[in-house]
Amino acid sequence: MTTIRLLLGDQLNIQHSWFTEVDETTIYVLMEVRQETDYVLHHAQKILAIFAAMRDMARQLKILGHRVHYFKIDDPNNLHAIPANLDALIVQYQADAVEYLAPDEWRLDQQLYQHGRQSAIPWRMVDSEHFYTHRHEAADVFTGRKQWLMEYFYRQMRVQHQILMDDKKPVGDQWNFDHDNRKAWKGIPTEPVDIRTRHDHTELWQTIVNAKVASFGNPQADTFAWAVNREEALQQLEGFIEHALPHFGDFQDAMHTKAWRLFHSLLSFALNVKMLTPHEVVKRAEDAYRAGHVPLAAAEGFIRQILGWREYIRGVYWANMPEYAEKNFFQHRRELPQWFWTGKTKMNCLSHAITQSLEQAHAHHIQRLMVIGNFSLLAGIDPAAVHRWYLGVYIDAFEWVELPNTLGMSQFADGGLLATKPYVSSAAYIDKMSDYCKSCHYDKKSRIGDNACPFNALYWDFFERNKSVLAKNPRIGMAYRQLEKMDAKAMADFQMQAQKTLNNLNAL
Ligand SMILES: Cc1cc2nc3c(=O)[nH]c(=O)nc-3n(C[C@H](O)[C@H](O)[C@H](O)COP(=O)(O)OP(=O)(O)OC[C@H]3O[C@@H](n4cnc5c(N)ncnc54)[C@H](O)[C@@H]3O)c2cc1C
Ligand code: SF4
């Protein structure tokens, strides 16, 4: 009896119950395949991080005594498709069964399920033992409800898992401290030192290049900074709790030209490839609060992202795929401007957020939502193109979490299932939360003319052109009340300015 057990590149949980016993008749399989490198154009660091972490996982499994079959990207026997490689291994090892951990992506879930059905031997799917919720739990919570309010789901999770609770009441008698979490950062407290372990992955990078895997962005292969195993991820978690979490709440939405990490954890990659569990990260934050090390608003704000948003987003994904990927509520069709691939735009906010994304494979939430996403929505970029860019560029981008965030939250392409209103702003919000406008080519206050900040006219044009579908939304009543007060000449000027901008996106 031989069983083949597949581990995908985002299933690197060395604590999974699969590994508690060593069994000679079980072969663990990991594979670096073109199927996965090529389904979208990925950032170089994303490919490097996943391959390096997979190789490290294979190393750890071997140390524990497990049998491992590893397909490297340049292995001549690698057929570069997951089902084809598995079929070859079934023959090679005369396997009697295939087992795989529940994929988080609909694409892979379908592929393995369909292929398994046609196989002569049984294929079984096993729980990945990672999330708080099962795939359809959010859908169960929202049965019969039109709007999927995250806050409603989050409170249920708090009660169910007894997190930041004093029996039936939320700690501090308040569920959500979001209002306390909106400060701009002026340089103090200083940004904590980046304690991530550096690796030299030059050789692996050369292998990837030689295999002609296409990518973009800076690989930073000789000083590679993303955690490639649980040990490094735990060190990163401890550093975050100690130095950054105390200020996380206050500066969660802040952006600055001199501090790209600010007080964020940079743990999304380690979480999404399952080197860390959400339970241990949440527990560590709650313990730090209970020990008096961090304020409640900081612990709550951080825990809400993981126990609330992360699980909720996953629920939205599973309840709505595969149709979700095609949503385009506003019927936006424009192409991405060229500078998405270079960062070379005169708009300082976009230049910083995009250049940082190309350099670090990371941007934090507000850069993704209120700078890059905001501009894309105002400019009417095709949400599918925006989705592909986000899925490629970020180190933590796996479709189950990236797609609802990009298409739903940021582009409102689902018509408001996930976000109660479109997340758009003029320059005023970006100026309030960052220092970007201070050194920008464009004038944040001007609305018309060559030097006017493009966000300003695009903002009013967006509301005007979408009046028929947005005006009734009570959460954006204020924008429409302001529009009503605007005289016809002012509106015509805005529309002309916006049209000029839209006709010249590549030149901004
Ligand atoms: C348009 C857009 C696209 C995004 N794409 C992704 C993506 O591909 N992968 C991804 O993991 N996150 C995505 N996010 C959510 C968020 O931006 C990242 O999780 C976060 O920036 C990662 O950095 P961090 O680990 O320092 O997070 P922190 O700010 O330290 O937050 C802690 C953790 O909370 C979780 N989290 C926070 N916000 C969200 C959210 N909205 N949805 C799910 N989890 C969340 C992450 O696991 C994160 O590591 C996206 C957000 C937007 C607006
Ligand atoms: S002025 Fe406008 S384009 Fe420039 S940084 Fe501010 S918001 Fe961005």
Three-state SS sequence of 194-211: CCCCCECCHHHHHHHHHC
Nearest CA owner, ligand 2 atom 5? 437
Structure tokens at 445: 């206050």
Structure tokens at 394: 């970020």
- Read off the amino acid at residue 42: H
Residue 407 Cα to ligand 2 middle (Å): 23
Task: Decide: 405 and 317 in contact? Cβ < 8 Å.
Answer: no
Nearest CA owner, ligand 1 atom 41? 309
Q: What are phi and psi for residue 224, nearest 5 degrees?
A: -65, 130
> CA 32 → CA 16, 52, 159, distances in Å?
21, 10, 41
CB of 455 closer than 6 angstroms to any ligand 2 atom: yes
Out of 396, 409, 423, mutate this one to test ligand 1's pocket (max ligand atoms within 8 Å of CB): namely 396
CB of 271 closer than 6 angstroms to any ligand 1 atom: yes
Task: Decide: 418 and 432 in contact? Cβ < 8 Å.
Answer: no
User: How many residues are there in the chain?
Assistant: 508
Specify the ligand 1 atom closest to the Cα of 410: 1
- Each residue's pLDDT tens digit in the chain (508 positions)? 899 999 999 999 999 999 999 999 999 999 999 999 999 999 999 999 999 999 999 999 999 999 999 999 999 999 999 999 999 999 999 999 999 999 999 999 999 999 999 999 999 999 999 999 999 999 988 888 877 889 999 999 999 999 999 988 999 999 998 876 689 999 999 999 998 999 999 999 999 999 999 999 999 999 999 999 999 999 999 999 999 999 998 999 999 999 999 999 999 999 999 999 999 999 999 999 999 999 999 999 999 999 999 999 999 999 999 999 999 999 999 999 999 999 999 999 999 999 999 999 999 999 999 999 999 999 999 999 999 999 999 999 999 999 999 999 999 999 998 888 999 999 999 999 999 999 999 999 999 999 999 999 999 999 999 999 998 888 888 888 888 898 889 889 999 999 999 999 999 9
Out of 434, 437, 505, mutate this one to test ligand 2's pocket (max ligand atoms within 8 Å of CB): namely 437
- Beta strand 26-31 with 42-43 is unpaired
Q: How far apart are CA 504 and CA 500, in angstroms?
A: 6
Give the residue from 336, 376, 309, 374 showing the smallest Cα distance to 138: 309
Nearest CA owner, ligand 2 atom 1? 444
CB of 369 closer than 6 angstroms to any ligand 1 atom: yes
